[in-house]
Structure 1
Amino acid sequence: MANKPAYSIADQIALLKHRGMLFRNEADAPHFLENISYYRLKGYWWDLQTDRNTHNLHANTYFEDIIERYNFDRQLRLILFDAIERIEIALRTKMIHHLSMAYGGLWYLDSTLFENTQITLRDGTIKTIHQNTVEELQKEFNRSQEIFIKDHRNRYPGQDADAWKIMETASFGTLSKLYKAMKNQLPEKAFIAQEMGLNLHSELSSWLESINYVRNIIAHHSRLWSRTMVKTPRHNLNNPKGQWFINPLTPVQSKKPFLIITSMIYLCNYVTPGHQIKSKILTLFNSNPNIQIYKLGFLNNWRNEPLWTQP
């Protein structure tokens, strides 16, 4: 198939108009398309197409409304990144503290603390999940330009760093994998889950995987709007310690960002009491009354759930 020709900004606007896009102030459109690419914006009008083949749009689809969706999504992602930072730092701190106190500073290298589950890598190599995760952790350590990490490398060349050093360089994904790989009978694995408000480590593992998935979306400035989540956290909790859902979730609610966002707020209630994450989200919603938040899974009686209504 021959490559399509590149479209100028004027051509992009003409194409949008051909497909039914309306403009309240067409003179402003070039500015947006010069700074936000056509295909990045396309995700925000995708659900407004009448035909996925012709890409024609519903009547009364305005370019300015698409920009409003885009800005709303951006503001939501910034709020959620604040929540993720709090959760990640708390998880890292608890893993360092509990496991170092129990097993020493090099606990992360002790294979007896981890399940022996094996994976096959793309090149055909077979490793345990623990072994592969530690290798990723070491790469993150080697790349770090933190002063205390560079000092360690200079003073102790070739020596393994204690957990309170190396774990500070770990990504959320590495932390999540390392936590999940711990043997289930380790009391410290349960302690960490309980301190974050959950009774089962399997629930926390599920939540961490889902939150890391959202973290990666946000880190790449990608779209949360109307996205179906590839990773979804467990929502049928075992006697949750804090406010959780009192009504069953619909499939849409569980597959859209709503469930993961709610789980973030739940965790923040434990690791950083007095946070403003929920109030910022509600303020954002109230400030954007034209935004269809049901596209994010906020539908039915979500406003009546105690976690969303009570301080």
Structure 2
Amino acid sequence: MGNIATTFSQQIALLESRGMVFDFEPNKVKEILLDIGYYRLGFYWHPFVIDDEHNLITGTKFSDVVNLYYLDVDLRNTLMKYLNRIEINFRTNIVYYVSNKYRTNPYWFIDPRIINQSFINDFDKYYSEEFRKTNKPIKMHHRKYLNDKYAPAWKTLEFFSFGIMLRIFRNLHDEEIKSRISKIYNVNNLSKFISLMDTLVLLRNTCAHGGVMFDLKVPKGISKIPELEFNNNDRMSLDSSIKVVLYILGKISISRKQNMEAEINAIFEKYRNDGIVKNIITNKINFIYK
């Protein structure tokens, strides 16, 4: 709508002029626009746009757009919960195996004999003054140990993101440790394991930053391993990324994998009889109903 703010009435009038059918009461439409926002909701009517003038497929209903939005919300919340479980497990394995191999070096994350210098050069970007202040155990450590530049690995790395932990993993010199951790998740090829974890970090960041889920694509495609089969051999779709989460999660906890699978299936099942959203689930997400 250009660079000028608009009222609810103007937003509704514009959408109607483009072919949107409002099948909610006007007050409900305004409530939804106030709750979600015109701009964000636009991501979810985009699949119905048919030309450069932003006209919509004839019969596009506002309820279809809202349903697609809440499909995304449900997927994001469910995936984030289980990705968090994987992130914690991955972090724990790195801290445990590296710290126990280099027991006399609690600051191994800045030791060039253990980790690549390129990571060390960037370390203070992560271990900033803000990092020290906002993470209470780190703050308390420096109050107690005034001469320590950093807290030990088992404290410091607890507050690093999934993406930074994967970067640490990549930059470790010790191939034996990396291979050992990869095999915990039953992936014998180290480069393929890193590719799978890249997929999970991408998915986690998309969830965490409110990205659109239903048309997520993995840019380079997901690495193939014998245990993973993707629908239609599509290695880029959200459904394929979900399969990676389920696979890795299953190596941590079978029951958590079963829970996640049931929750994801239940989300999609809600739309089995909704032709519009089901079409997006099957054609964009690449989920196959059974």
Question: TM > 0.5 between the two?
Answer: yes
Q: Distance in 2 between matches of 1:294 and 1:92?
A: 34
Q: Could you list the per-position Cα deviations for residues 28-76 of structure 1 after superposition, in whole angstroms to 9, with x for gaps in the alignment? A: 211111111111111111121111x111000110001100110111001
Q: Secondary structure at the match of 2:228?
A: coil
Instruction: Report the counterpart of residue 262 of structure 2 in structure 1.
Output: 279
2:169 corresponds to: 179
How has the CA–CA distance of structure 1 residues 144 and 192 changed in structure 2, closer, same or farther, with 3 Å as cutoff?
farther
Superposed, which structure 2 residues align to 1:49-198 within 5 Å?
49-51=49-51, 53-104=52-103, 105-115=106-116, 128=118, 130-139=119-128, 141-146=131-136, 148-159=137-148, 160-183=150-173, 186-198=175-187
Q: Are the equivalent residues in 2 in contact too, given 1:144–1:169 (CA < 8 A)? A: no
Whose helix fraction is larger, Structure 1's or Structure 2's? 2
* CA 1:296–1:133: 2 relative to 1, 3 Å: farther
What's the counterpart of residue 282 of structure 2?
Answer: 294
Distance in 1 between residues matched to 2:25 and 2:251, nearest whole Å: 48
TM-score, structure 1 normalization: 0.82
State how far apart, in whole Å, the 2-side matches of 1:46 and 1:100 are.
Answer: 49
Counterpart of 1:307? none
What SS does the corresponding residue of 2:214 show, helix, strand or coil?
coil
Distance, in Å, in 1 between the alignment partners of 2:203 and 2:122 is 20
The number of equivalent residue pairs is 277
| Distance in 1 of aligned mates of 2:196 and 2:206 | 16
1:25 aligned onto 2:15: no
Aligned to 2:222: 233
The corresponding residue for 2:240 is 259
For residue 269 of structure 1, report the CA deviation from its aligned partner: 0.2
Q: Deviations over 1:182-232 (max 9, x none)?
A: 23x521111111112211221222122222122222112221122333464
Deviations 1:112-148 (A, max 9, x none): 22345xxxxxxxxxxx1x12442344237424333x3
Is contact 1:137–1:166 with CA below 8 Å preserved after alignment?
Answer: no
Flag the 1:267–1:109 CA change in 2: closer, same or farther, 3 A. Answer: same
Distance (Å, rounded) in 2 between the aligned partners of 1:297 and 1:198: 25
Q: State whether residues 20 and 59 of structure 1, in contact with CA within 8 Å, keep that contact through their aligned partners in structure 2.
A: yes
Contact 1:196 1:271 in 2 (8 A): yes
Give the RMSD, CA atoms, in angstroms.
2.1
Amino acid at match of 2:285: G
The gaps in structure 1 that reach 5 residues or longer are 117-127, 305-311
Residue type of the alignment partner of 2:159 = T
Contact 2:109 2:120 in 1 (8 A): no
Amino acid in the other structure paired with 1:277: M
Q: Is the 8 Å Cα contact of residues 231 and 240 (structure 2) preserved in structure 1? A: no
Give the secondary structure class of the aligned counterpart of 1:112. coil
Is 1:196–1:270's contact at 8 Å kept on the other side of the alignment?
yes
Q: Which amino acid aligns with 1:219?
A: A
Q: 1:244 aligns with which of 188, 210, 228?
A: 228
